[in-house]
Chains A and B, each alone.
Chain A
């Protein structure tokens, strides 16, 4: 795990639905471990383990100064993951542009066939 590249660490951290829910909570602002644990039927050690994964992936940071040590969402790894995924979305977007062109050709051919048959009547 130590040699994992940052993007792999980000996606591995995001692969868990509980961790995603925790990140979603943090988009609303910093939260303490107790606040993050609240919506889940999980023990505090389990919650701490999830938070550790998120912290190691750089997705959250813990404020060392405050007594409650609230967690804060870190945006950089998410933005990086998003930029990386954009290229894959692009792959299909390009394909679907071509589908659009194909459909226009099919519709034009049908319209022409329809007008020809109408003309025959």
Chain B
């Protein structure tokens, strides 16, 4: 069964950067620049590796504390240089744990880069597979996984509170 993400359970963040889309893409895909993904103030002596092709892997050691370290990264699903990057999030033997034979069990990350003058708008989207039960999604979240529901509860709350104030 192919992976579907139709429920759109996940979260979206948008950021604008003062750099061309090609440079933002480089910061995501060139191991020489991936340092920003590390935890602040920590150090790893394991260089990041990137095999930038569809099906290729990106691996990087995360160091939360000197005692708590793990590999993370992804398997690329779609690569459009300077525009779009889609990867299954995780690492074999790392976190999130990723099974190369069952990639569609992994959260899917989509990064879209849109030039805006000299700047770049980055849309970052994490999606959970539809086959995840709510409990499974909840388990991921409780494991420190970044998540949420794309129904943008905050917006729902804002709309309701505005309506309540008006009445």
Would you list which residues of chain A between 17 and 74 have a CB under 8 Å from chain B? 17, 20, 23-24, 27-29, 73
For the complex, is B146 an interface residue (Cβ under 8 Å from A)?
yes
- Interface size classification for chain A: 35 or more
Task: Tell me whether B146 and A102 are in contact (CB under 8 A).
Answer: no
Interface of B with A (CB < 8 Å)?
A: 7, 9, 11, 13, 15, 17-19, 23-24, 26-27, 33, 35-38, 40, 122, 124, 134-135, 137-138, 141, 145-149, 151, 153-154, 156-157, 159-161, 163-164
CA distance in complex: A11, B17 (Å): 33
Q: Which residues of A contact B (CB under 8 A)?
A: 8, 11-12, 14-15, 17, 20, 23-24, 27-29, 73, 75, 78-79, 81-82, 85, 88-89, 91-96, 98-104, 106-107, 110
| A85 and B11 within 8 A (CB) | yes
Rounded to whole angstroms, the CA-CA distance of A10 and B161 in the bound complex is 19
Contacts of A103 in B (CB 8 A): 17-19, 23-24, 27
Return chain A residues, CB-CB under 8 Å to B138: 8, 11-12
A14-B151 CB under 8 A given contacts A95-B36, A103-B19 = yes
Known A73-B160, A99-B17; 18 more pairs at CB < 8 Å: A8-B134, A8-B135, A12-B138, A23-B156, A24-B156, A75-B164, A79-B157, A85-B149, A85-B154, A88-B145, A89-B11, A89-B13, A95-B37, A99-B36, A103-B23, A104-B18, A106-B23, A110-B23
Residues of A within 8 A of B9 (CB): 15
In angstroms, Cα B18 to Cα A35, docked, is 48
B40, A88: Cβ atoms under 8 Å?
A: no
A83 shortest CB reach to chain B, Å: 9
Q: How far is the CB of B102 from chain A (nearest CB, A)?
A: 22
Complex Cα gap A27–B148 (Å):
20
